[in-house]
Amino acid sequence: MAVEFKSPGPILVEWGPLVLRWYGLLIASAVLIGVTLAQRLAAKRQVDPDVLSDLAVWLVLAAIPSARLYYVVFQWQEYAANPAKIIAIWEGGIAIHGAILGGVLAALIFARLKQVSFWQLADLVAPSLILGQAIGRWGNFFNSEAFGAPTDLPWKLYIPPERRPFGVDAAYYHPTFLYESLWNLAVFGVLMTLFFRDLKGKPRLKVGTLALVYLIGYGLGRVWIEGLRTDSLMLGGLRVAQLVSLGTIVLGVIGLVWLYRFRRPLPDVVSPRDRELSR
């Protein structure tokens, strides 16, 4: 059975000068759901949930601007001609890798100031992060952006003429937003399974494991999905997201080998004996 995806448009509600966009609603929902989930996971590990709520403020303040800055840097020719558009984040145009980089920096500073383990914080945030990415990808659907190459597959995404790539007359494209959303949900399932198995001690995970599995899992999906897209951020002839994703996969694998093959803790902002918040 054929399934056609067609965006109803980016605006959910418009009342005079007040405009509520799907993109903003989805980002806000992802943050709220993510913070709630991280707090509950923290409680299950006997970690004060308030630590995660405090961290969430740091992450949001760092991640959203850095996600936009990352995107603008690689699309500078477009924004140089219209600088006012740089702040128009509600129109789309943010990069998750930029958000992750900004969030990591904020989390490192937070962990140093609070004298808590960065890696245990990362383990608690990783499931929320990937779930938030799964939700946020639907913002691309409503904005008719971040789609793939033309396709005639039974599942396809209709793109209006004004949003199609220059010189391409096809009406239907790969719904890469859907591919990535489903992939992220699968990674979320893996992380949650590992988390709850860890609580039962089957197996007992080392600090940093969930964060490293996130890096590998998301990276694997992004490498192949990015290859389908028509609007990738480019560095010369290379797709930036694929390069960064390959880097996260390598880092994740090295980290797991370090933890489980060499049986050594990951470098952290606090000493190994003080690094864990709960154990």
Residue-wise pLDDT for 179-190, tens only, equals 999 999 999 999
In this structure, are residues 230 and 223 in contact, taking their beta carbons and an 8 Å threshold? no
User: DSSP letters of 187-241?
Assistant: HHHHHHHHHHHHHTTTTPPPTTHHHHHHHHHHHHHHHHHHTTBSS--EETTEEHH
Which residue spans within 16-62 are E strands per DSSP? 18-21
Structure tokens at 37: 């989930």
Q: Quick one: which of 173, 171, 181, 170 has its CA closest to 139?
A: 181
* pLDDT at residue 273, rounded to an integer: 57
What letter does residue 165 receive in the DSSP assignment?
Answer: P
Task: Using only the alpha carbons of the chain, give its radius of gyration.
Answer: 20
**Residues contacting residue 110 through CB under 8 Å, at least 6 positions apart:** 54, 55, 58, 121
pLDDT value at residue 275: 56
Looking at residue 123, its pLDDT comes to 98
Identify the segments of the chain with pLDDT beneath 50: 279
Predicted TM-score (pTM) of this structure: 0.93
Query: CA 108, 109, 115 angle in degrees (round to 5)?
Result: 85
Other CB atoms within 10 Å distance of the CB of residue 94: 21
Cα distances (Å, whole numbers) of residue 106 to 59, 95, 119, 134, 256: 6, 17, 13, 22, 23
d(CA 42, CA 38): 6
List the one residue out of 70, 55, 100 whose CA is nearest residue 252: 100
Note whether 103 and 128 are within 8 A (CB): no
Residue 84: both structure tokens together:
């006012």
